[in-house]
Amino acid sequence: MIETLRRLALEVANAPDLATALRVAVQQTREAMQVDACAIYLVDPNDRCLVLMETEGLNRAAIGQVRLAPGEGVLGLVRERREAVSLDNAAEHPQYRHFPVTGEGHFNAFLGVPIVHFRDVIGVLAVFQRGSQTFSGNQEAFLVTVSAQLSGPLAEVITASRQHLIPGLSPQYKPYIQGVPGAPGVAIGTVVMPSPLAELDGVPERAAGDIESEVMAFREAVTEVQKELKASGERMKELLPAEAQSLFEVYALLVGDDSLISKVTARIQEGQWAPSALRDTIRELAAVFEAMQDERLRARAEDIRAIGRRLLLELQVDTRAPRDFPERTVLVGDEVSLARIADVPRKQLAGVVCLKGSVLAHTAVVARALGVPAVMGLGDVSGGRLAGSTVVVDGYRGRVFVDPSPSVKAEFARLEREERELSADLLSLQDLPAETPDGVRVPLFVNAGLLTDITPALNSGAAGVGLYRSEFPFMLRDAFPSEDEQRTIYREILEAFAPRPVVMRTLDIGGDKPLPYFTIDEGNSLLGWRGIRVTLQHPEIFLAQLKAMLRASVGLDNLRLLLPMVSSSSEVREARTLLDRALETLQDEGLSVRRPELGVMIEVPAAIFALAELAELVDFFSLGTNDLTQYLLAVDRGNPRVAALYDHLHPAVLRAVQQVVLEAGKLAKPVSLCGELAGDPVGAVLILAMGVDYVSVAASALPQVKWVIRSIPRNKAQDLLQASIKLPDAAAVRRLIHQALDDAGLGGLLRAGR
């Protein structure tokens, strides 16, 4: 489906004229949806009427002849409401307007969606069926996705129509190999390498003996790998929080991607055998990501290559032998895939080392979620020379000791033992309140994404969900999820935590969170079309999400809404208007829905200076320190050239956060804080001093933050805050708070051991 949408948008954008663009759009939409008719109506800029401009299935003689004034007919209803309208018998609707010239009397079922470009409805895309069956939610979601994909290219066409080697560990070398910290912790174990048969670069050239057999073998490999990934996800269900577990779903989708399958198949049909066709395709696709400027997107090249190796391994299934893993296994490879991690019994997995990759790689994400130390980006090292070696993995400092001396091994064995003791101590805090020695309580909430299994979050002892990232369900699909699909997901979250509150952030896409089926091509996406800016310009998407959230909250009433990327009060007013419409629509349907509390994220510097105006429109504030830090410091944290400048402990960031908390108090509005600052033990000390109403952190970070709060008196934290904001830079702040944590017996949060 993603390939269909990409092809459609590309062909429309490359069309020589408007007529060709419209013809391509209706033909491909009709074919993809398998409907009886499809039509596009555009708004005439002169009289604002909707005009039938192209159709497949209706009478083509009606093109240019059918004109509807604003608000006229069911098409006018779509345009006026700026959201999808689905009718099982359109002729019975009171706003129905019949045009005999179109021949539409033969059709009963109608589905129309607005084509919205920069908030303006420039047209309506509609499909028709002869039967009286209602269009499904999936069909509606697909048509909305098509419309969103078409809006930009179509508007442009309309305008145009208007004329390494391991050191020998001799004395001159350090006794370790330096990499990048991927996941904290220390471990001693035996190196296990991925199967050498799964090295794509080692695949020889060979012609396909039987093309049909090669294609079939490849497609069977795709099916088996998808099954294995889903099974791996199930095996890890009890061990991973949902955000990490959902990566298995992402990989399964990538394996079945139309572009990957079609490119490999085409190469086989040109005469290559399946392994080399796969090798060349993976190289091509990975190169696309590697050329991108955004580091997070470049990291996706690792995912592509991991998928390629797994597919190659499946193609060579007859040559594989079952593996026995050492009692303490350290997985080492260029990029260790999620499936390979899932292969190792959890009690035997000691650590992970990737010769390539970064802290942003999915491997590092999963290692952190499992509590397994990981080192990334070891560099130009011959992995084959590591196989079978005893290694020490230091995930705190990003170091790997190969065949360590007895003294090094003994020291890390001691640190490993202390780490286990510390983890047990933290677990004992689960049912205790986050209360300082001088009696100040700080409610701790968790951040969440796709919670297919919410047990880890529930078992963390959290007071609720302080930030639910609603874009996750959108990122794991090949089209916008329907309202019903969204409602089901949101209901699961709300029910699991009821009566505890759940703060759901509305769709926050763009920037470093693109959707594969909704292209946002910008020179500087971090300062571009993202967050509330996107959803306000696509009310059909926003309204569907709002209604899904409201439906999900019926009878629970623990929903709170949060608007991202807000920079002015006018954006909140517009969002409130759409929320009012969603509430009214559902109440008219007889649903007992209540207006949820509404908040805004303070992550754009302008919002800091608009708190008074915003306070008149919202119930609470939520400080998003990740984006706020990069905007205040003018640092793209995904850009390796300047990433070292990004630090949420910068005194200017601390002053800004403190200013928001103080001003919110004067305005009698509660304020929460989410982001990396909240989950950093150093940051936890400073947040405690500021007096935020609650903080929201990853479930895995909650025990550490609670330990800090229960160990540092508020007055001590306040003294540290006042000293910190007077320091010249983040490094000085970190040194100051590190010493304070050490003095309080919390050094185990900063390094290996206790």
| Helix (H), strand (E), coil (C) string for 173-225 | CCCCEECEEEECCEEEEEEECCCHHHCHHHCCCCECCCHHHHHHHHHHHHHHH
Q: Where residue 500 falls among pLDDT bands split at 50, 70, 90?
A: very high
Is the same domain home to 205 and 79? no
Lowest mean pLDDT among 141-150, 334-343, 393-402, 462-471: 334-343
Domain boundary among 133, 161, 189: 161
Lowest mean pLDDT among 515-524, 604-613, 699-708: 515-524
Lowest mean pLDDT among 100-114, 235-249, 286-300, 402-416: 235-249
pLDDT 10s digits, 112-161:
999 998 778 999 999 999 876 789 988 998 999 889 888 887 877 776 55
Check residues 379 and 345 and name the one with the higher pLDDT. 345
Residue 192 pLDDT > 90:
no
Task: Say which DSSP state 59 is in.
Answer: -
Is the same domain home to 48 and 115? yes
Residue 332 pLDDT > 90:
no
Is the same domain home to 616 and 679? yes
Element (H, E) at 445: strand 444-448
Residue 547 pLDDT > 50:
yes
Residue 433 pLDDT > 80:
yes
Task: Say which DSSP state 745 is in.
Answer: T
Give me the percent of the chain exceeding a pLDDT of 90: 38
> What CATH number does the domain containing 643 carry?
3.20.20.60
Highest-scoring range by mean pLDDT, 118-127, 164-173, 472-481, 575-584:
575-584
Check residues 236 and 549 and name the one with the higher pLDDT. 549
Over residues 716-730, the mean pLDDT reads 94
Catalytically active residues are 362, 674
Residue 56 pLDDT > 80:
yes
Q: Where residue 409 falls among pLDDT bands split at 50, 70, 90?
A: confident
**754 located within any domain:** no
Nearest 5°: the CA angle 75, 77, 81 is 125
Is the same domain home to 545 and 573? yes
Query: Which is nearest to 67 in space by CA: 39, 89, 47?
Result: 47
Q: Which amino acid is at 555?
A: G
Q: Where residue 453 falls among pLDDT bands split at 50, 70, 90?
A: very low
Nearest 5°: the CA angle 325, 423, 754 is 110
Q: How high is the pLDDT of residue 415? A: 82
Place of tokens 């920069």: 118
Element (H, E) at 298: helix 295-298
Lowest mean pLDDT among 298-312, 394-408, 606-620: 298-312
What range defines the domain where residue 28 resides? 2-161
Is-contact 295 638, C-beta < 8 A?
A: yes
Residue 554 pLDDT > 50:
yes
Task: Say which DSSP state 371 is in.
Answer: T
Is the same domain home to 534 and 648? yes
Over residues 94-110, the mean pLDDT reads 87
Q: How high is the pLDDT of residue 427? A: 72
Query: Which is nearest to 128 in space by CA: 60, 77, 55, 65?
Result: 55
Q: How high is the pLDDT of residue 168? A: 35
Is the same domain home to 202 and 89? no
Q: How high is the pLDDT of residue 615? A: 97
Check residues 162 and 710 and name the one with the higher pLDDT. 710
Is the same domain home to 608 and 498? yes
Check residues 163 and 139 and name the one with the higher pLDDT. 139
Residue 349 pLDDT > 70:
yes
Place of tokens 């079939």: 216
Q: Where residue 473 falls among pLDDT bands split at 50, 70, 90?
A: confident
Is the same domain home to 48 and 189? no
> What CATH number does the domain containing 350 carry?
1.10.274.10
**648 located within any domain:** yes
Residue 434 pLDDT > 70:
yes
Check residues 169 and 446 and name the one with the higher pLDDT. 446
Task: Give the helix ranges, DSSP H, for 66-136.
Answer: 73-81
The bridge status of strand 390-394 relative to strand 374-376 is unpaired
Torsion of CA 508, 510, 511, 513, to 10 degrees: 70
> What CATH number does the domain containing 145 carry?
3.30.450.40
Highest-scoring range by mean pLDDT, 168-182, 411-425, 595-609, 635-649:
595-609
Q: How high is the pLDDT of residue 173? A: 37
Residue 368 pLDDT > 60:
yes
Over residues 643-660, the mean pLDDT reads 90
Domain boundary among 109, 127, 161: 161
Residue 4 pLDDT > 70:
yes
**341 located within any domain:** yes
Q: How far is CA 372 from the centre of its chain?
A: 22
Is the same domain home to 193 and 121? no
Q: Which amino acid is at 104?
A: E
112 is written with which tokens? 């129309």
**14 located within any domain:** yes
Q: Where residue 402 falls among pLDDT bands split at 50, 70, 90?
A: confident
Other residues' Cβ atoms within 10 Å of the Cβ of residue 248: 26
Q: How high is the pLDDT of residue 165? A: 33
**278 located within any domain:** yes
Lowest mean pLDDT among 173-182, 456-465, 631-640: 173-182
Average per-residue pLDDT in the chain?
A: 82
- How many domains, in total, are found in the chain? 3
Residue 320 pLDDT > 50:
no
Is the same domain home to 186 and 157? no
Which whole-number Å values give the CA distances from 154 to 20, 25, 53, 112, 530, in the listed order? 11, 9, 13, 17, 20
Is the same domain home to 611 and 730? yes
| Residue 33, phi then psi, degrees to nearest 5 | -90, -10
Q: Where residue 638 falls among pLDDT bands split at 50, 70, 90?
A: low
Domain boundary among 384, 404, 424: 404
**409 located within any domain:** no
**421 located within any domain:** no
Is-contact 392 188, C-beta < 8 A?
A: yes
Cα distance between residue 300 and residue 302, in whole Å? 5
Residue 169 pLDDT > 60:
no
Q: How high is the pLDDT of residue 514? A: 64
Place of tokens 């005439």: 44
Give me the percent of the chain exceeding a pLDDT of 70: 81
Q: Where residue 235 falls among pLDDT bands split at 50, 70, 90?
A: low
Q: Where residue 233 falls among pLDDT bands split at 50, 70, 90?
A: low
Cα distance between residue 639 and residue 624, in whole Å? 20
Query: Which is nearest to 618 in space by CA: 604, 606, 607, 629?
Result: 607
**206 located within any domain:** yes
Q: How high is the pLDDT of residue 167? A: 35
Is the same domain home to 150 and 267? no
Q: Where residue 452 falls among pLDDT bands split at 50, 70, 90?
A: very low
